[in-house]
Amino acid sequence: MSTPFETTEPTRAAIDARRGPLLLEFGSPTCGHCRRALPLVEQALAAQPGVAHVKVADGPGQPLGRSFGVKLWPTLIFLRDGVEQARAVRPQSVGEIAEGLQRVAAPLA
**Per-residue pLDDT tens for 20-40?**
999 999 999 999 999 999 999
Helix (H, G, I), strand (E, B) or coil at 103: helix
**What pLDDT, in 10s, does the model give residues 61-109?**
899 999 999 999 999 999 999 999 999 999 999 999 999 999 999 876 5
CA terminus-to-terminus distance, the chain: 32
91 membership: H or E segment, kind and range:
none
Instruction: Go through the chain and tell me how many residues it has.
Output: 109
CA distance 26 to 104: 18
Sorted by where each starts, the structural domains of the chain and their CATH numbers stand as 5-105 (3.40.30.10)
**pLDDT of res. 1:** 57
